[in-house]
């Protein structure tokens, strides 16, 4: 009886030992857990490289500079040459109004082939406005007109203004005012025109010289 019990116990222990060994073998042959990620191999570098913000390059196109061509015309201005009136040509923008022509005359004569022989008797600081109605140009001067001009130059100064304005289309006569009041002016021979009476080109034709000069405004 005891020998059979020993034999049965030995078989039981052997069976348990074989079972345990099989269990260990199954565990050892099972899938292994992975603690760290393994980089993929064979992937193109462009796909694994870190991305960076895209930048946009802009360019500015500079438009070519356009040259504006201003049409001009030669305008007759009148200045003093010796003791007579000479005609000068000056280029002004096309179709200038009477005020632009008068302002150009009041600006003086900046250049001349005759040097200081060509001059103006009109004071440089003279301020005058001109309006035209039915062929009559009214020149209204601020302050004074003749008091700052020597008696010998007064007919020449008035001739400069009258001859210049009546050379423009649509103007036949000129009257003068000072601060809105009528002003008597001398004619080409020195005598005063009646107060309020307009003067014309013919009143100063005696002073016109046959010599003409050209001024390009330079």
Vertex 143, ends 135 and 102: CA angle to 5°?
Answer: 35
How is residue 159 written in tokens?
Answer: 């001739």
Q: Is residue 19 part of a domain?
A: no
Q: Is residue 63 part of a domain?
A: no
Domain range enclosing 182: 73-214
Q: Is residue 193 part of a domain?
A: yes
10 Å CB burial of residue 102 (0-12, 13-18, 19+) is buried
Tokens 């007919």, located at residue: 155
What residues are paired with 91 via a beta bridge? Answer: 74
Please give the tally of structural domains in the chain: 1
Return per-residue pLDDT of the chain as tens, 218 residues: 544 444 445 454 444 444 444 443 433 444 454 555 455 555 455 555 555 555 555 556 666 677 778 899 999 999 999 889 999 889 999 999 999 999 999 998 766 556 668 899 999 899 999 999 999 999 999 998 999 899 999 999 999 999 999 999 999 999 999 999 999 999 999 999 999 899 999 999 999 988 777 665 44
Residues 6+ apart with CB under 8 A from 25: none
Determine what percent of the chain falls in helix, strand and coil, rounding each to the nearest 5: 30, 25, 45
Q: Is residue 112 part of a domain?
A: yes
**What confidence score (pLDDT) does residue 136 get?**
98
CA proximity to 176, closest of 207, 208, 152, 154: 154
Q: Is residue 84 part of a domain?
A: yes
**What confidence score (pLDDT) does residue 28 get?**
43
**What confidence score (pLDDT) does residue 18 get?**
46
**What confidence score (pLDDT) does residue 27 get?**
39
Q: Is residue 161 part of a domain?
A: yes
**What confidence score (pLDDT) does residue 12 get?**
47
Q: Is residue 29 part of a domain?
A: no
Q: Is residue 66 part of a domain?
A: no
**What confidence score (pLDDT) does residue 26 get?**
39
* Residues 215 and 89 sit within 8 Å (Cβ to Cβ): yes
**What confidence score (pLDDT) does residue 29 get?**
44
The span from the CA of 132 to the CA of 173, in Å, is 10
Q: Which helix (H) or strand (E) holds 160?
A: helix 154-166
Distances from the Cα of 152 to the Cα of 69, 82, 157, 187, 204, angstroms: 43, 12, 9, 12, 14
Q: Which helix (H) or strand (E) holds 48?
A: helix 45-48
**What confidence score (pLDDT) does residue 117 get?**
80
pTM over 0.75: no
The span from the CA of 169 to the CA of 175, in Å, is 17
Residues 6+ apart with CB under 8 A from 84: 207, 208, 209
């Amino acid at each position: 009886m005891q020998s059979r019990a020993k034999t049965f116990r030995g078989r039981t222990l052997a069976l348990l030992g074989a079972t345990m060994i099989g269990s260990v073998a199954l565990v050892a042959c099972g899938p292994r857990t992975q603690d760290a990620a393994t980089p993929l191999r064979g992937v193109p570098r462009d796909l694994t490289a870190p991305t960076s913000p895209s930048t946009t390059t802009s360019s500015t196109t500079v438009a070519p500079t356009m040259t504006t061509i201003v049409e001009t015309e030669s305008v007759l201005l009148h200045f003093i040459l010796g003791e007579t009136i000479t005609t000068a040509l000056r280029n002004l923008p096309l179709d200038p109004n009477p005020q632009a022509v008068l302002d150009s005359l009041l600006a003086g004569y900046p250049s001349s082939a005759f040097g200081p022989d060509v001059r103006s008797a009109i004071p440089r600081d003279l301020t005058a406005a001109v309006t035209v109605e039915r062929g009559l140009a009214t020149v209204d001067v601020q302050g004074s007109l003749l008091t700052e001009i020597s008696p010998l130059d007064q007919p020449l100064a008035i001739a400069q203004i009258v001859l210049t304005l009546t050379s423009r289309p649509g103007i036949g006569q000129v009257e003068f005012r000072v601060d809105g009041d009528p002003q008597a002016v001398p004619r080409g021979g020195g005598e005063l025109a009646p107060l309020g009476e307009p003067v014309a080109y013919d009143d100063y034709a005696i002073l016109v010289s046959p010599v003409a000069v050209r001024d390009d405004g330079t």
